[in-house]
Amino acid sequence: MSSELDIKNYFEYAKSLTLKAGEIFKCGFEGDKIVETKEYDWDLVTDYDKKIEDLLTKSLREKFPDHEFIGEETMADTKETPVLTDKPTWIIDPIDGTVNYINGNPNTCISVALAICKELVIGIIYNPIVSELYTAIKGQGAFLNDKPIKTTCNTELRKSIMEVELISLRSRVRDRDIRLGRLEAYFNITRGVRYLGSAAIGLAYVARGAVDCLQMDFLQSWDVAAGVLIVREAGGTVIATKEDEYNVMKPRTIAAANETLAMEIKQLIVDTDLKTMRKRLTKT
């Protein structure tokens, strides 16, 4: 069992390591990099994604040899399905918003989280380009550059700015209508829709109150783990789009300032998806 003091030590070490990794991040952002395409032509990876994940994983493993790791690029190499056990497990996205990173768009970051007994206990999101470090330890609040942050108090979707996922739909043939239907609903109801191009920064923005809420599906644990804890510690709620219980390993995420707003989004999704399914039936 890890004590509070152990968790504090894990946090301090991971924080200084993430800041160090930020120097490598900046070199790649400003300089030349090798860009490869993954499964789809909109899904890219650079040599810096790999360098940063290597540094974080190797250093954390050396320091904490009995800990486990779930990292985006390691998982991509081994093609294993990530499994979260009760052991302390670091969940790492070396660069979230890789497409932004390649384009020189500063909405990109490093995301590092620790789960113990499947509970998120540490979340660190670092955007070295704008020097923003978001941190949280379970039960101790959320911080941006060491200053406490809070979600908004907004309980109404019509008064909300909402972060969504607007990633390419080119390869998403089956659920295209569902995604477009939801977007239309968000456009019609909210005060405005935003897409930063980094799920982790999107969650950090919910935590600091820069947006009121976020809804994204098809995310991976490494996209959200740190951000989910930071939102919760900033006073917000994170729930699943469909399932009853939020599962960081299968994240269909609604993050919001509070439960009322989150439940309003969930109900809107249920109603909108139903309408889309009915339209499908009348077309066939």
Does residue 233 belong to the site contacting Ca ion (CB under 5 A)? no
For residue 276, what are the contacts with CB-CB under 8 A and spacing of at least 6? Answer: 177, 178, 181
Residue 93 is a binding residue for Ca ion (CB under 5 A): yes
49 is in an annotated binding site: no
Closest distance of CB 101 from Ca ion, Å: 9
| Residue 13 binding partner per list ligand IPD, Ca ion, none, with a CB distance cut-off of 5 to 8 Å that depends on partner kind | none
129 binds ligand IPD (CB under 6 A): no
- Two tokens, residue 175: 């659920």
Please answer whether residues 167 and 202 qualify as being in contact, where contact means their C-beta atoms are separated by less than 8 angstroms.
no
Q: Which stretch binds ligand IPD (CB under 6 A): 56-64, 84-92, 94-102, 242-250?
A: 94-102
Rounded Cα–Cα distance for residues 224 and 217 (Å): 11
Amino acid identity of 122? I
Residue 217 within binding range of ligand IPD, rule CB under 6 A:
no
Q: Alpha-carbon distance 43 to 246, whole Å?
A: 26
Instruction: Report d(CA 148, CA 265) in Å as an integer.
Output: 27
CB 204 within 8 A of CB 224: no
- Identify the active-site residue in 73, 93, 233, 264: 93
Number of C-beta neighbours around residue 194 at 10 A? 15
C-alpha to C-alpha distance for 269 and 242, rounded to whole angstroms: 9
Using CA atoms, how far apart are residues 36 and 59, in angstroms rounded to an integer? Answer: 25
Catalytic residue among 165, 217, 223, 273: 223
- One symbol per residue from 21 to 60: x for binding ligand IPD (CB under 6 A), - otherwise; what is it? ----------------------------------------
| Residue 48: its H or E element | helix 47-63
**223: contact with ligand IPD by CB under 6 A:** yes
The answer to whether 214 contacts ligand IPD (rule: CB under 6 A) is no
Nearest approach in angstroms of CB 107 to ligand IPD is 8
Give the bridge partners for 134, in sequence order.
125, 144
Q: Which two tokens stand for residue 166?
A: 């607007």
Per CB under 5 A, 53 contacts Ca ion: no
197 binds, among Ca ion, ligand IPD, none (CB under 5 to 8 A by kind): ligand IPD
Q: Is 209 in the site for ligand IPD (CB under 6 A)?
A: no
Residues 153-172 that bind ligand IPD (CB under 6 A): 165, 167
Please give the annotated binding residues for Mg(2+), written as ranges.
Answer: 72, 93, 95-96, 223
Instruction: List interacting residues with ligand IPD (CB under 6 A).
Output: 93, 96-98, 165, 167, 197-199, 218-219, 223
